[in-house]
Amino acid sequence: MKDAITTVLQQALARCQENGSLPADLEARIQVDHARDKQHGDFATNLALTLAKAARLKPRELAELIVANLPDSAVIEKVEIAGPGFINFYINSETQASVIGSILNQQEKFGLTEIGAGKKIQIEFVSANPTGPLHVGHGRGAAYGAAVANLLKAIGYEVHCEYYVNDAGRQMNILAASVWLRYLELCGEDFPFPVNGYKGDYVLDIAAALHRENGDKMFHSWAEISCNLPKDEPEGDKERYIDAVIEKMKALLHPDQYSLVFDVGLNYILDDIRDDLEHFGVVYDQWFSERSLTDSGDVTLALERLQKSGHCYEKDGAIWFRSSEFGDEKDRVLVRDNGQSTYFSSDIAYHMNKLERGYDRVIDIWGADHHGYVPRVKAALQALGDDPEKLDVLLVQFAVLYRNGKKIPMSTRSGQFVTLRHLRKEIGSDAARFFYVMRKCEQHMDFDLDLAMSQSNENPMYYIQYAHARVCSVFSQLADKGFEFDQGHGLAHVDLLTETHENDLITRLTRYPEVIGKAGQQYEPHQLVHYLRDLANAFHTYYNAHHFIVDDKKIRDARLCLITAARHVIANGLKLLGVSAPEKM
RNA sequence: GCGCCUGUAGCUCAGUUGGAUAGAGUACCUGGCUACGAACCAGGCGGUCGGGCGUUCGAAUCGCUCCAGGCGCGCCA
């Protein structure tokens, strides 16, 4: 509809230029908005205001000129000039009401568009280290990423969702060591657990599984392990201590045994994460292993390309990438003096790999604490000769949990956190998914557990779901009262829907495809949340103002068509957010 | 110290890329169920848009500056 108005405005300008009333070199960027106020019609344009200076006319005079040259249109009821020079358009009611037929025909397909047709997007989100279960902070990234992916699919993009598995590196070694030490405890050893080890209960579970399968085969006495170890905190350095424990573990265990412990831990946690996300309604097309980048040679290849193009140098025994040449604060290490490549190297290889797979756009969703990382990744892409503009990094601020009005401290390492699984079980997947995407991603979020767990109607999700359930309820009442719904008959009489509340609801419905388009292109699912609330509000208001099951068959069927259309749109929108649309509550 | 994010009603948040009188929810107050679900509806109260200066027909939105809060500044991942 917006496009239709843009088109007639273009035609009007062209006419003015042809007949000489406007300069021929005038260039216009036509902007058509929804009128904020019903008094201002359905759509409005500020064209006359933006163009006044270039046209050397007063805004209102220019507006009159444009309106006088507007071509006839079947959809426009009337046009008005208002305020300082806004042009307001009123759409005729038949055109508006035709959306009901469209919705009833397309049903779950209504709202889908082809904006991104033929384009491929890769989107990576969550990607938490597999060193423990997901916590509520990851939940926000999961809910947000999945909603963005759904929106992008809805507007025609081919979307590929990925979870990057950090299955290499120091953190994983610390996990392996933690598992092994717990295993030794099960073998009967008694010793102080490292300050820097993973202390969560899940580590005990993994160790127990390991012990069940392997008995005491990997046992070594604490006396053997602890000789020549540096001091742990508080007397010593906890980082150096845990590294020494890992080294000792590698020295004492056969390499196969070490990787067994490592893999048991990794797979246990990955299975857990996968299961958790699946119950959260989040599914991936691919779980991309960091180790596979080393195995495939991609890491080496990326390093070579950076070196050959002259963006690297050696200093203090390490290989550095001159990222400061591309806007980063300082240069970064690619290969450490001990010969190990850094996490950054893998990440460069991963992003190179993504772009080489031919995506038009690559989206990363990271926790906001990683924001300092963005410039160096873009720098690397630029140095590799790729287009850094193809990468969008969306930063999700952390959700801070509150209980009894108090902030809950969280740390993965200490094992002190509220897990996503716990949240899901307390308040349900629907409420959690909805709550997470209610706010803009860059907005800090206070997640009040008491409120969320209270299942009160303060959660607007219930308001929206209730609208859906109410429509369903009307139809069960209809049957109880011995009426039948004739959709074709109703559609033939939608011109009878002339009540203000009906027009408001219809207008709201017509905007749905546009909302999806905008929310998708801007990666902002919260726009859909707000739309759905407004839509539900229009429905509830209508519900309270008029009865649907009336004796007049024409009006009854027409109204039933309208509320069915509303039900479809609510269900479609909630589905994109990963929230169910129950028929009863 | 430098960089990024945030600051809008008592509280939680929107604000259509610079437009018309800044909006919702919640809290509080007043009304509405013997016809489709009151998890609802109607009305009221509530604002120096963190402060200041600037850009212009026009600023919550853009620029500069200050204030407050969060996060980040490793040969960790």
Q: In this structure, is the CB of residue A460 within 7 Å of any atom belonging to strand B?
A: yes
What integer is the mean pLDDT of A153-157? 97
Which two structure tokens, joined as six digits, stand for A219?
Answer: 């046992």
Same domain, A175 and A76: no
Q: In this structure, is the CB of residue A318 within 7 Å of any atom belonging to strand B?
A: yes
d(CA A51, CA A298): 53
Q: Which DSSP state fits A151?
A: H
- Residue A475 counted as domain residue: yes
Q: How far does Cα A34 stand from its chain's mean position? A: 26
The residue out of A91, A124, A153 marking a domain boundary is A91
N- to C-terminal Cα distance for chain A?
36
A502-535 pLDDT tens trace: 999 999 999 999 999 999 999 999 999 999 999 9
Chain A residues 46 to 75 with C-beta below 7 Å from nucleic strand B: 46, 49-50, 53, 59
d(CA A419, CA A426): 11
What integer is the mean pLDDT of A196-212? 94
Is ipTM beyond 0.90?
Answer: yes
**CB–CB of A30/A6 below 8 Å?**
yes
Range of the domain at A78: 2-91
**CB–CB of A459/A434 below 8 Å?**
yes
Band of pLDDT at residue A116, cut at 50, 70 and 90: very high
What CATH code is carried by the domain that includes residue A516?
1.10.730.10
Q: Which residue is nearest to nucleotide B2 (CA to C1')?
A: A329
A318-375 pLDDT tens trace: 999 999 999 888 999 999 998 989 999 999 999 999 999 999 999 999 998 899 899 9
A247-273 pLDDT tens trace: 999 999 999 999 999 999 999 999 999
A171: the nucleotide nearest its CA (via C1') is B77
Checking DSSP bridges between strand A318-321 and strand A332-335, what pairing results, if any? antiparallel
Band of pLDDT at residue A236, cut at 50, 70 and 90: confident
The residue out of A64, A91, A118 marking a domain boundary is A91
Chain A residues 381 to 440 with C-beta below 7 Å from nucleic strand B: 395, 397-398, 438-440
- Residue A227 counted as domain residue: yes
Which two structure tokens, joined as six digits, stand for A458?
Answer: 């303060």
Residue A497 has pLDDT above 80, yes or no: yes
Which two structure tokens, joined as six digits, stand for A425?
Answer: 């079980």
Q: In this structure, is the CB of residue A566 within 7 Å of any atom belonging to strand B?
A: no
- Residue A226 counted as domain residue: yes
- Residue A427 counted as domain residue: no
Q: Which nucleotides of B are covered by protein (CB under 7 A)?
A: 2-6, 12-17, 19-21, 24-27, 32, 35-42, 57-58, 69-77
d(CA A506, CA A499): 11
Q: Which DSSP state fits A396?
A: E
d(CA A5, CA A70): 10
- Residue A465 counted as domain residue: yes
φ and ψ at residue A297, rounded to 5 degrees: 90, 5
**CB–CB of A468/A584 below 8 Å?**
no
Q: In this structure, is the CB of residue A168 within 7 Å of any atom belonging to strand B?
A: yes
Count the domains in chain A: 3
- Residue A271 counted as domain residue: no
Band of pLDDT at residue A59, cut at 50, 70 and 90: confident
Helix %, strand %, coil % of chain A (to 5): 55, 15, 30
Chain A residues 353 to 372 with C-beta below 7 Å from nucleic strand B: 368-372
Q: In this structure, is the CB of residue A524 within 7 Å of any atom belonging to strand B?
A: yes
Q: In this structure, is the CB of residue A444 within 7 Å of any atom belonging to strand B?
A: yes
Q: Which residue is nearest to nucleotide B75 (CA to C1')?
A: A336
d(CA A147, CA A135): 19
Length A140 CA → B59 C1' (Å)? 33
A458: the nucleotide nearest its CA (via C1') is B26
What CATH code is carried by the domain that includes residue A28?
3.30.1360.70
Length A577 CA → B49 C1' (Å)? 30
Same domain, A464 and A566: yes
The residue out of A30, A60, A91 marking a domain boundary is A91
Q: Which among A453, A465, A340, A468 has a CA at the least distance from the CA of A403?
A: A453
**CB–CB of A580/A474 below 8 Å?**
no
- Residue A319 counted as domain residue: no
Q: In this structure, is the CB of residue A222 within 7 Å of any atom belonging to strand B?
A: no
Chain A residues 288 to 307 with C-beta below 7 Å from nucleic strand B: 290
Q: What is the pLDDT of residue A460?
A: 86
- Residue A133 counted as domain residue: no
A540: the nucleotide nearest its CA (via C1') is B40
